[in-house]
Amino acid sequence: MTLPFTAAILPSRNEPTTIAAVTTAADQAMGEQSIIVHADSSDAPDTAARFASTPTRARKVALTGLRRGKGAQILAALRHPELAGTEAVLIADTDTRTPDPALYRALLDQVRGQAAFAIADYPRHWDEANLTNHLARPLIAATTGHDVPQPLAGDLALTRRARDTVTRTAAALPPDLAPCVDGYGIDAFLLLTAAGLGPVASVRTDEPKRHAASFPHLAVIFRQAVPVLLHLTARRTPTPAPTPDSLSAYRTDDRVLAPDRLTGMLTTLENLTPGRHRYDDERPWPLPVVDAWRAVNSGTPPTEAAAGLWPHYLRRVHDWLTCAQHATAQHRAVQLAAAHVGLHTDLTSAGASK
């Protein structure tokens, strides 16, 4: 039997209305010598049934009843024997309402070329991507030299070498970090693990991604992603800070939020803030990020450092939503770029003095 050259992994949980379109788009992006692995942890069989009934040129493998967690599902698929001979692996979010086979194809083309890892770069609505804009992107850029506009995007591709390194590294994770990587920490883990192997490519698209909102999961995403970010960046030496003009633009797609929706988001943030926590105005954002990064570098467990950063992050998002609602898209981009450079500068200074 000839092994497939290209694979797609589709992690899902309760997405019967979108899985078929994503499956079709992934199939269109790959050649006939390919395989699609559905990694499912749904509560009911309808998502798996829709995948099974979707016609494809590629061979299909269904992994059902998997342990819940995006990372656990992806890692289970990456370790599956059917992927042993693949040279390029596409991973695509299955809650996407407008999946684009051209984007998937472009991601695969990048890792068939010079890149070790390729990831989608799509504009985000101004009220979304808070973890990306305020923390993940500038932290990764400062410590790795890779300024990736959407480092936590769920649509990506990686080489065989990156896949093998990811599975090997995941198996050796410390006990406190393994559950984070099994969850939403998988996105940062994939990027930061692959970034040490070769170029990281961003594939730009001009349409915002239409998918399920992440704000309702803000707390769990932070709790699982930030320890991974801190752990995998703390030992790196920050690079010289760029100027705002040299950055790839922060793209904040404009939209009007209904007043009751915005009020609800702000109330959620206030309710999540630990009781009696007083925000230290002498350590304004992004200095608490530097504090957390230095703490992990000094031996503090990343989960503990992330917990200390949590109330400052909530304040940052609250301030952003409050102020950015009145700003233009251009002004928002300028503000994010300035904060990016500020964090980069502070991390460079902290790295030099550690």
Output the DSSP codes for 190-207: HHHHHTTTS-EEEEE-SS
Phi-psi region of 81 (alpha: psi -120 to 50; beta: other; left: phi over 0): alpha
Model pLDDT, residue 282? 67
Residue 354 has what pLDDT? 53
CA distances from 42 to 93, 152, 246, 267 (A): 14, 22, 44, 30
In order, the DSSP letters of 203-228 are EE-SSPP----SGGGHHHHHHHHHHH
pTM of the predicted model as reported, rounded to 2 decimal places: 0.94
pLDDT the model gives residue 1: 43
**CB 36, CB 7: distance < 8 Å:** yes
Q: Check if the beta carbon of residue 40 is closer than 8 Å to that of residue 70.
A: no
| pLDDT for the residue 280 | 58
Exposed e or buried b for every residue in 189-222, given b needs 16+ CB within 10 A? Answer: bbbbbbbebeebbbbebeebbebeebbeebeebb
Q: CA dihedral in degrees (352, 307, 186, 99; nearest 10)?
A: -110
Identify the CATH class of 6-212: alpha beta
Q: What is the pLDDT of residues 332-350, one digit of tens each?
A: 999 999 999 999 999 988 7
CB neighbour list of residue 331: distance below 8 Å, 6 or more residues apart: none
pLDDT at 261: 93
Phi and psi, residue 57, nearest 5°: -75, -35
The pLDDT score that the predictor gives to residue 254 is: 87
Residues of the chain with pLDDT under 50: 1-2
The reported pLDDT for the residue numbered 277 is 60
pLDDT of residue 155: 97
Contacts of 220 (CB under 8 A, 6+ apart): 183, 184
Q: What is the location of CATH 3.90.550.10 in the chain?
A: 6-212
- The whole-number pLDDT of residue 278 equals 58
Residue 130 is predicted with a pLDDT of 95
